[in-house]
Amino acid sequence: MIPVQSLDPHAFVAHVRPLLEAKDLKALIAAVRGSYTADQILELLTGKCQDASKVAALTLSWIGCRECIPKLAERLQDPDTTVNQMVEHALWAIWFRLGNQQSNVAVCRGTQAINRQDFHTAIDYFTSAIEISPAFAEPYNQRAIAYYLIENYERCIADCQRALELMPCHFGACAGLGHCYAHLEQFNEALQWYRKAVVINPHLTQIRESIAELQARW
């Protein structure tokens, strides 16, 4: 294996931060792809320089791919809340673009439908995305959210489970399972999935509160 050529973290930050702040996506992608490899950015993500870790996470939210997910998921454990938030954002951004162009558009339209509380239309869009890209985890997770919001917990559970089969580090799907089982008053199962969510992402404050509430009851 060819070793990754290490970057100067401070030089990387000085180069990339102005492009991030300008929100110039085309210039950012051109500059980063022309100067760095994904492996080099991932090395900065796990390095000792916190500023470089934050900028690397932000950069990966724009250019990261499936191969970046394992190291990003590991970085969710970072005790620095800001690093965690940026890594979480990068993961969500990558998860949403892992389909092809058609399925990504369908997922985007589905989330827009959820935002306007048109849940059945959202389900149709997510189902279309799944039909186009069956191995795309996020439409299953998003469809699970729509099913949850119309209180169809059985279908929500099925979609969360499928999302996790395709993306085992998907803490959102774990939390979704916890919510469903809590509503079904299957509290042991709810605790199990809430705990899995916080093992993956320890900074899920609301899920920790749900765990504490269930433990207080039982």
For the stretch 196-213, pLDDT in tens is 999 999 999 999 999 999
The pLDDT of residue 17:
86
- For 81-123, how does the pLDDT look when each residue is reduced to its tens digit (9 = 90+)? 999 999 999 999 999 999 999 999 999 999 999 999 999 999 9
Q: How far apart are CA 157 and CA 98, in angstroms?
A: 22
The pLDDT of residue 159:
98
Work out the mean pLDDT of the chain and round it to a whole number.
93
- For 21-53, how does the pLDDT look when each residue is reduced to its tens digit (9 = 90+)? 888 888 888 888 888 888 889 999 888 888 999
Whether the CB-CB separation of 120 and 151 falls below 8 Å is answered with no
Q: How far apart are CA 47 and CA 52, in angstroms?
A: 8
Helices 137-149 and 101-115, axial angle in degrees (round to 10): 20
Q: φ and ψ at 17, to 5 degrees?
A: -55, -45
* Percent over 90 (pLDDT), the chain: 78
Q: How far apart are CA 165 and CA 196, in angstroms?
A: 14
Q: How far apart are CA 208 and CA 126, in angstroms?
A: 29
Q: Tokens for 188?
A: 């042991």
The pLDDT of residue 4:
58
Does residue 5 surpass a pLDDT of 80?
Answer: no
Please tell me the number of Cα atoms within 13 Å of 141 on its side-chain side: 23
Say how many residues make up the chain: 218
Average pLDDT over residues 43-68: 90
The pLDDT of residue 3:
46
Q: How far apart are CA 216 and CA 53, in angstroms?
A: 37
Write the single-letter amino acid at 26.
K
When pLDDT is cut at 50, 70 and 90, the band that residue 1 belongs to is very low
